[in-house]
Each structure stands twice: as C-alpha cells, then as structure tokens.
Amino acid sequence: MPDDRPILLWFRRDLRLSDHPALDRAASSGRPVIPVFIHDEVVEGYKAAPKWRLGLGVGHFADRLAGIGSRLILRRGEALGVLQQLIEDTGAATVWWTRAYDPASIRRDEEVKSTLTGQGIEAASIPGHLLFEPWTVETKQGGFYKVYTPYMRAVWDRDVAPTLTAPSELRAPAQWPDSDTLDDWRMGAAMDRGADIVRAFVNVGEEAAQTRLAGFARNDIADYDDARDIPGQDGTSNLSENLTYGEISVRACYHAGMRALDDGKPGARTWVQELIWREFAYHLLFHTPRLVSDNWREDWDAFPWNEDERLAEVKAWKQGRTGIRFVDAAMREMYVTGRMHNRARMIVASYLTKHLMCHWKIGMHWFEECLIDWDPASNAMGWQWSAGSGPDATPYFRVFNPVSQLDKFDKDRAYVNRWIAEGQDDPHPDALKYFDAIPRHWHMSPDDDYPEPIVSHEDGRERALATYKNRDF
C-alpha cells in the first residue's frame, strides 16, 4: 500500500508555484500536501523593509495556493517546535523545503533536519534557490573561487536544467491544521516610514514577476549593457525584489536571458552575468559565512573605520543630506521605493566607506533595514566589495567621484532631480514623497536650502588615501 501520509512543505524564501522542485516533487507524489510558512527565529531577525515585504509576499502566495485547491498554513514560533507540532497534528511523515545558504538559515535547518530524522521523519532540503550548488564549483586546486571572473567562466558553459511547470492542483489533507492570521503577525510593524508610499513601488508575487521578466526580455535586455548604468532611466530588470523572495526562480531568469542571447540581443550576456554575480555571492557566503559579519580580509581589522552609528556624518548619509547630490538622491530613492539603482549603490558605498571612512557594516545594516530586495549574500558581498575588504574587491584607492559620476551617468540630471526637491521651482512628485515618508524628527522640509557637502569629494578622497597609505597592514 502506497504511503498516504501528508507531506509538510515548508516555504521560506521560495514563494512560487512555477519551477519549484520541492513543490513539484510533492505534487507528483500523489500524497496530501500541507504548505506551511513559519514566522520563526530567522524571520524574527528580519529588519523593517524586508519583513514588511515578506509579509506582502506571504499573503499573495497564500492566494496562489488557494487557486490550486490548497492553503498556506501560518504558524509562529521556533521552526523545529512548530514542525514537530504540525507533524503531531497532521500525521505527516515528511518535511521538505528549499535549501538556504545563509548562516542563520543553515544553523536552523541543520538542527531541524537532524532532530526530525532522528525521530523517524523524512526531512530533506531540496535545491531551488540557485543555479549551481556552492560545493559543485571548484578551482583546479580543489578550493572555492575567490574571484568573480574565473568563477563565471567555470560555470558559464554548464547545463542548467529546464524549468518545471506549476502544478495545476495540490492534494489537500483530509483535515487542515489550524493557521494563524497573517495580519496578527504585524510584519509591517517596524516599517515606521511611509509604508503606503513604498507600497506604490513594490511588485508583489509570481505573476507580476513573470510579467516583468517577459517585458524586460522583450524590450529592454538588448540594450541592458549601456542602459543599466543610467539610474535616471529604467534600464534594469527590477527583478531583485522577486528573486530574493523566490517569487521567480533564477533558472527562469537564466533561460530567458540565454534565449535573448540566442536571439542576438547582446545585452543579455551581461544580464546573465549579473545573475552569476548573485550565484557568486552565495558561493562565497557558503564557503565563508563570516562574509556577513567580519572583514573577509582580516588585515582590514586594523583600519581605523568609524563604527559609531551616532556620528553626524552617518546620520547625514542615512537621511540623504550629505550635500552630495548623487549620494542624497540615492539614499532618498531607497527610502521611498525600497530599492536603489545599482550604480547608485556603488557610489553611496564608496562615499560612506571612503570619503566618510565609516565601516561597511554600518552601510550593510542600513541597507538591510531599508531594502525590499534585501538579500543576505548580495548585500554583504556588495559592501565588502565596495569597501575593499572583500575577496575580489575593488582596491581601497579606487574612490568614486560622486560629482563627476553625475556627468557620466546622469547627464540630464533626471535622477537627482527626481529625488531632490530642495532648490527646485517645480520639484518632481517623487522628490516630495520623500518628505512624507521620513520620520518627523529628521526635521527635513522641501523648502530647506540644499545642504553644503559635509565632506567634499576632494577632502574625503585625500583623507581616505592618506589613511590608506599610512596603514600598518
């Protein structure tokens, strides 16, 4: 007699029906499937914007499951205890989930797996978040890659399996276990900025992500190479938000990019290489989990970073009033939309870690607070890359000039004018939204004079380079 006991399908950052290997396996087993999302110790650690955005994704995904005759069971508590309770309540014999690679998730998942396995439950993680498992990519010497380009070359010609189609139905259990109500979790509670303002810029869910991918591949990917560098225009895919919550699979993106490349759209190669940057970040994080917490190159521990969040320059940077237009526009864009253009991310990171000589962790934590596309691997790698403390990092002496970058990448000032209201006769509506989104105690008004630079490019560059030159490492 075939096993008819339910399968618990534990969803985390994989909120989709399409190209979901664990879901596909569960659906084709013919057994009852109980999808569950747990507000657990890892979710507890999420900061304001990511937690809020995750809540939107979870709510949407519950509706998706309802559309195929299933449900999303919501429970709160430590993951292991919640799963054990659900096993007891439902008679489930199996727990499957999509594998995660950040240190907090790995700790949790290893404990869940070993404990449940010890209790006779089949507990297994199934790939689905990445194109290439981190341990399958090795240098000739047998180590992991520390430099992007050789990593990219090593994986470029690999076969990537085709995508899986979404199941049209999912067998329900004889009886559904109890579920919490999403609203009771108040996942937006820490979103004490204009969440209703940010809401206008988010793109929640699997269908929205697929529509976005199709439009990007059809209209924008050919010119991605050049257009991606212009923050005043919408030349990027904007899919990071969906990728981070698994609302679209990286495999679907990869195949769309490769098809576009075959169709003779040259920018597609660069875009696929950006997907491989994401892979590389997870590769590094898996092999060196301290990427999220410590200087990857330990000699940087001796560098005199400012680590005090209360420093006036740190506040000015966070609040978008450094007096450097490119920096302030970018910080405001992030506050209003939950996203920041990638070119701008490099510029604000260079300014914080070099001109202001502040530790990259300050920046990493603020991004984690504000970004709806927050990804633990990409965020940590990006900051260490910018600061110069990471593997394959930009050298510390490579200091972006945030003034001349405007002439290169924002010639018509479309970007800074979109996000900075002060001094404009007829400010862009988005520039005004910033003042509705920020807390009152920041005391900022569109009628203020735009501030003088707190640290000019020339002074900041000179100080940073002098400090670097005199370093004792």
Annotated binding site for FAD: 224, 236-240, 271, 373-375
Residue selected from 140, 441, 443, 469 as contacting DNA according to rule CB under 7 A = 469
CA-CA distances (angstroms) from residue 22 to 35, 130, 298, 367, 408?
Answer: 11, 13, 39, 31, 46
Burial grade of 334 (CB within 10 A; 0-12, 13-18, 19 or more): buried
Specify the DSSP class assigned to residue 391: T
Which residues neighbour 211 within 8 Å (Cβ) at sequence distance 6 or greater?
A: none
Does 144 bind DNA (CB under 7 A)? Our answer is no
Q: What residues pair up with 97 in beta bridges, in sequence order?
A: 10, 125
Q: Does 309 bind DNA (CB under 7 A)?
A: no
- 96 — alpha (psi -120 to 50), left (phi > 0) or beta? beta
Dmax over Cα atoms in the chain, in whole Å? 77
Among 238, 337, 405, 417, binds DNA (CB under 7 A): 405
Helix (H) or strand (E) holding 342: helix 342-350
Residues in contact with DNA, shown as a per-residue x/- string from 98 to 137 under the rule CB under 7 A: ----------------------------------------
User: 10 Å Cβ neighbour count for 24?
Assistant: 18
C-alpha span between 205 and 193 (Å, rounded): 22
Q: Give the residue, chosen from 182, 346, 432, 437, that forms a contact with DNA under the rule CB under 7 A.
A: 346
User: 248 and 242 in contact (C-beta within 8 Å)?
Assistant: yes
Complex with DNA: residue 385 or 435, whichever CB lies closer: 385
Given 394, 413, 432, 451, the residue binding DNA (CB under 7 A): 394
Supply 70's token pair. 């299933």
* 218/408 with CB nearer DNA: 408
- Annotated binding site, which residues? 224, 236-240, 271, 373-375
Q: Does 283 bind DNA (CB under 7 A)?
A: no
Q: Can residue 457 be called a binding residue for DNA (CB under 7 A)?
A: yes
The CB-of-327 to DNA minimum distance in angstroms stands at 13
Q: Rounded to an integer, what distance in angstroms lies between the CA atom of residue 331 and that of residue 344?
A: 9
Does position 465 interact with DNA (CB under 7 A)? The reply is yes
User: x/- binding map, residues 153-192, to DNA, per CB under 7 A?
Assistant: ----------------------------------------
Instruction: Answer whether 284's CB lies under 8 Å from 385's CB.
Output: no
Question: Which residue among 13, 75, 265, 343 contacts DNA (CB under 7 A)?
Answer: 343
CB of 393 to DNA, least distance (A): 10
Angstrom distance (rounded) from CA 54 to CA 244: 10
Q: Which among 23-31, 98-106, 288-296, 395-403 is the span making contact with DNA, rule CB under 7 A?
A: 395-403
Angle, nearest 10°, between helix axes 376-387 and 267-287?
A: 90
Residue 161 in tokens? 């399996």
Residue whose CB is less far from DNA, 87 or 399: 399
Q: 217-256: which residues touch DNA (CB under 7 A)?
A: 229
Min dist. Cβ of residue 282 to DNA (A): 16
Point out which span in 157-165, 322-330, 435-443, 465-473 binds DNA (CB under 7 A): 465-473
Binding site residues, DNA, CB under 7 A = 148, 229, 274, 277, 342-343, 346, 394-395, 397-401, 404-405, 408, 457-458, 461, 465, 468-469
